[in-house]
Amino acid sequence: MSNFVEIDGSYLEGGGQALRNAISLSVILNRPVRVVKIRANRPKPGLSHQHLHGVHLLRAISQADVNGDALLSTELEFTPRRIEGGMYKVDTRTAASITLIYQMVMPVLLFANSSSRVDVTGGTNVAFSPQVEYMQQVLLPSLKRFAANTAMELTVLHHGFYPRGNGRCQLNVEPLQQPLTAAQFMDFGQFREVKGAAYYAGRLPKFIAYDLQHSAEREIHRLWPDHQCNIQVFKHTPDRARDNGAGIILTALTSTGCVLGAGSVGEKNIDGHMIGSNASCELAGYIKNEVCVDAHLQDQLIIFMALAKGCSRMRTCALSKHTRTAIYVAEQMTGVKFNIEYGDFGQTFVSCEGLGHFNNV
């Protein structure tokens, strides 16, 4: 029993972040982990259906022994073995976030013994999780700084929205041939342009997407009238999305290759003007403060910083609870230490001398 690293699932964010990161690192490092007080700060503590899907997927990938993998369980023990690449399929039968499941397996499959494909059915654009376009346009390009030859490809076969889901994606991952190298997210360079998409689907009227577009473009043009802001409006056809849904995803690009993202998903009583304005104001804050990593990317980079060879650094905004939780888990699981410093204009600097973990299969 003493071999287990114990992770407190109630730490700070107190949601699924501690569980997701702990299990991922457990598999990569082949270290048994016990997560206690799972999702203690949520209205319904313990494992939800969505978290069980992720746990069971990583159990299959690593042939792990698992105790406590039951609905609403507040304690889980996970003992992994070898990471096996291959074909994996998950059907959540709900609008559970596909991207949060992919967050768990992306770093793991880089250290597999062969190529992998993970086919997941659920929600592609749902609240409280990254939209699938954010993962394609912001996360995956950013990960190339850790390994330029990293081969990850994310394809959307069908979009799915709350409450029914019905979305489907495929993630292809090629294993690393060499260790991840330290990445630097420190040089903002010059702001170049904003790109984006305002989408709608199902029976929703198209004016919602135009409201999203116009309000977002208005804010960017007000602050940077000489910069390009191209937000396209489009409808997901029935063969690409069965149900009602709408939202916006924006990215800002800089001369040094930084990609900053912001967006939102409409739910009931969608106010396109408000959603578009909020998304563009969030993005504008990143641009004005010249950060290189937005608030949604912070926590997703922590695992890679901890595993990489050398000292990784990022220049970001105020750290979210998700990020602080990810740092706590990474330090407990790997023994590395993260250094946090604060600069002017709300900037935060995070650095870490990583393990230099390598794929030894």
Q: What is the pLDDT of residues 171-192, one digit of tens each?
A: 999 999 888 999 999 999 999 9
State the SS3 of 307-329.
HCECEEEEEECCCCHHHHHHHHH
- Please tell me the distance from the alpha carbon of residue 78 to that of residue 299, in angstroms, as a whole number: 22
% of the chain with per-residue pLDDT over 90: 89
Q: What is the pLDDT of residue 359?
A: 77
Q: Is 243 annotated as a binding residue?
A: no
- The full set of domains in the chain, from first to last, is 5-180+319-355 (3.65.10.20), 191-289 (3.30.360.20)
Identify the H or E element spanning 211.
helix 207-223
Kindly indicate the confidence band of residue 267, based on its pLDDT and cuts at 50, 70 and 90: confident
Stretch (H or E) spanning 221 = helix 207-223
Residue 299 is labelled as binding a ligand: yes
The predicted-structure confidence for 120-175, as pLDDT tens digits, reads as follows 999 999 999 999 999 999 999 999 999 867 789 999 999 999 999 999 999 999 99
Quote the pLDDT of residue 361. 62
Q: Which one has a higher pLDDT value, 203 or 361?
A: 203
Does position 206 have pLDDT exceeding 50, yes or no? yes
Q: What is the mean pLDDT of residues 353-360?
A: 89
Task: Summarize pLDDT for 270-324 with one digit per residue, the tens.
Answer: 899 999 999 999 999 999 999 999 999 999 999 999 999 999 999 999 999 999 9
Amino acid identity of 115? S
Binning pLDDT at 50, 70 and 90, where does residue 1 land? very low
Q: Does 298 count as an annotated binding residue?
A: yes
The average pLDDT across 214-225 equals 96
Residue 5: closest CA among 17, 16, 27, 15 = 27
* Residue 186 and residue 222 in contact, taking contact as beta carbons nearer than 8 Å: no
What's the average model confidence in pLDDT over 228-244? 94
Residue indicated by tokens 């964010």: 13
pLDDT of 2 over the 60 cut = no
Active site annotation includes 322: yes
List 159, 214, 322, 357, catalytic entry: 322
Rg (CA), the chain: 20
